[in-house]
Structure 1
Amino acid sequence: MTVVAFDFDGTLSDSEMTVLLGDRCGVADDMAEITEASMNDEIDYAESLRKRAALLEGLPADDAQAAFDEVELREGAADLIAELNEAGVTTAILTGGFERGVATALEREGVSVDHIVSNHLPMNDAETELTGDVTGSLIEGTKDTALENLASDVGAGLDDCVAIGDGANDLPMLKVAGLAIGFEPKPAVEPHCDVVVTSMAEARDELVADGVLEER
């Protein structure tokens, strides 16, 4: 059994969910600055995520959904996921981003993955606006633990896992996976990648070279 675990923002998608949400309440620049510092491993990821969520306090539910509707998969991502699924590979998205944005993007392209591990932005009791809080297993928890748990659940070893990511919060899963693929990785991340790619086509080539997929 092979597991391929993707990061989402910056990897499967070139969108950044917190920035799209921040656009809706005029804090996109602040969001981008915090995100960049986190992805370069300059500030703790959990702290950065809480700071970004706090900036969204009071954002109306309709505006939040409109931001999630803007999240898109990058070129070739849907085809690669579909091919992995058809090949019987266990596919997963491990993201510090938000399940609603991931689900919206996947549904638009008509593809799915076997497992999504993500975070959530709670609404107030009336379900009318964001509270400014964030919940989920990938705030304090790290992606190595998430990948280890997933591999155990499906009966795979970590050597049979492929991790694909770009930012500092991907480092834990990149370090434990049998194959670590950096997708346009940040400078702090690149030294820990076995290979570096800049497109989904190149990622597919590496999966073929590793025997996960067959040559067309």
Structure 2
Amino acid sequence: MPSTFTAVSYGETLPQETLRQVRAVLAANGLRITGETAESHPGFECATFALAAGTKDTGDAVTRLRAALAAAPIAGVDTAVVPDSLRGAERKFIIMDVDSTLIQQEVIELLAAHAGTEAEVAKVTAAAMRGELDFAQSLHHRVATLAGLPESVLNEVGGKIKLSVGAERLVARSKAAGHAVAAVSGGFSQILAPLAAELGLDFALANDLEIVDGHLTGRVHGAVVDRAAKAASLRAWSAQAGIGQGATMAIGDGANDLDMMAAAALGVAFNAKPAVRAVADAQINLPNLDVALALAGIPVA
């Protein structure tokens, strides 16, 4: 029996010539289009192709197609190949990074601005997200620059947080459809906890900044939430929610998200660093998390 899966093409616009090019890649890889739909949403358009391959090995067909689409010179559009274990799941598990994914900013840089170390911290953060530095060591280095700041800066910074476009809708639509949504961050629980409560997230985890006598000490409590911890969170929380890993989607932008993305049925690079885009199952290169709803097969509108 042939294997089935779905390809989703998306971009700011999807001209007919672009769709013709996508269809040609699908056909060149021995795939039969069994259904096609097109949708237009604020900020992006998408086309969904239901596919059948003449092989029982879905994994092989998906890998081959992803490589062919990545190599195809189709400008202005990305195409994700999504396994039916995710698209067709009655309940799905969606887990996101926080800084530069769920929210638009890097919280530690906002905090560092109060300490006069923003330039230094931003440089280290960028290198860590590119995978050039050990994340835990880089975090300890950056947090050390915050020593002495009054606890009140956390509320001030929290008030400046801006959700990414589509983030609130991604959570709300997913929850309304009965799916589970989580956030895991190499940032700080003092910022994530109120945000998670506001959005109604099912699970959330971040580092705890140590505070003594009303001031940041420049240290964090406990083990750092690194790439291994993020992957472990995906496995533990999806199991707790009663959702198999075949129905999981992980979204992130930096090297600290790679293990989590690899553990998911679909790992999505969101406006990510080049090293992350290169190994992700799918890319969202638009500043719009609504695309993630389309990938997972959850109604956007």
Note if contact 2:190-2:209 (Cα within 8 Å) is conserved in structure 1: no
1:114 — aligned with what? 202
Q: CA shift at 1:200, angstroms?
A: 1.2
AA in 1 matched with 2:289: M
- Matching residue within 158, 170, 179 for 1:89: 179
Secondary structure of the residue aligned to 2:162 is: coil
Q: Where do 5+ consecutive residues of structure 2 fail to align? A: 1-90
Q: If each structure's strand is expressed as a fraction of its own residues, which one has the higher value? A: 2
- Matching residue within 245, 262, 265 for 1:175: 262
1:202 — aligned with what? 291
Note if contact 1:71-1:102 (Cα within 8 Å) is conserved in structure 2: no
Q: TM-score, normalised by structure 2?
A: 0.66
Secondary structure of the residue aligned to 1:120 is: strand
1:28 and 1:38 mapped to 2: Cα distance?
A: 15
2:240 and 2:111 mapped to 1: Cα distance?
A: 33
Note if contact 1:174-1:192 (Cα within 8 Å) is conserved in structure 2: no
* Bigger RCO of structures 1 and 2 (CA < 8 A, at least 6 apart): 1
2:218 — aligned with what? 132
Give the aligned length. 208
AA in 1 matched with 2:203: H
- Matching residue within 154, 157, 161 for 2:241: 154
Secondary structure of the residue aligned to 2:127 is: helix
AA in 1 matched with 2:257: D
2:274 — aligned with what? 187
Q: TM-score, normalised by structure 1?
A: 0.90
2:125 — aligned with what? 35
Q: CA shift at 1:215, angstroms?
A: 6.0
Note if contact 2:185-2:225 (Cα within 8 Å) is conserved in structure 1: no
1:142 — aligned with what? 229
1:214 — aligned with what? 299
Instruction: Describe the shift of the 1:74–1:123 C-alpha distance in structure 2 as closer, same or farther (beyond 3 A).
Output: same
**Shift >3 Å, 4+ stretches:** 103-107, 136-141
2:105 — aligned with what? 15
2:196 and 2:238 mapped to 1: Cα distance?
A: 22
2:59 — aligned with what? none
Secondary structure of the residue aligned to 2:123 is: helix
Note if contact 2:196-2:204 (Cα within 8 Å) is conserved in structure 1: no
Secondary structure of the residue aligned to 2:115 is: coil
AA in 1 matched with 2:293: R
Note if contact 1:24-1:67 (Cα within 8 Å) is conserved in structure 2: no
Q: Where do 5+ consecutive residues of structure 1 fail to align? A: none
Q: CA shift at 1:214, angstroms?
A: 3.4
* Deviations, residues 97-122 of structure 1 (Å, cap 9, x unaligned): 11222234456xx4220000111111
Q: CA shift at 1:42, angstroms?
A: 0.2
1:80 — aligned with what? 170
Instruction: Describe the shift of the 1:138–1:206 C-alpha distance in structure 2 as closer, same or farther (beyond 3 A).
Output: farther
Q: CA shift at 1:48, angstroms?
A: 0.8
The yes-or-no answer on 1:2 pairing with 2:89 is no
Secondary structure of the residue aligned to 1:188 is: helix
The worse-fitting range, judged by mean Cα deviation, of 134-143 and 172-181 is 134-143
Q: CA shift at 1:138, angstroms?
A: 4.2
Q: CA shift at 1:68, angstroms?
A: 2.4
Note if contact 2:154-2:190 (Cα within 8 Å) is conserved in structure 1: no
1:73 and 1:82 mapped to 2: Cα distance?
A: 13
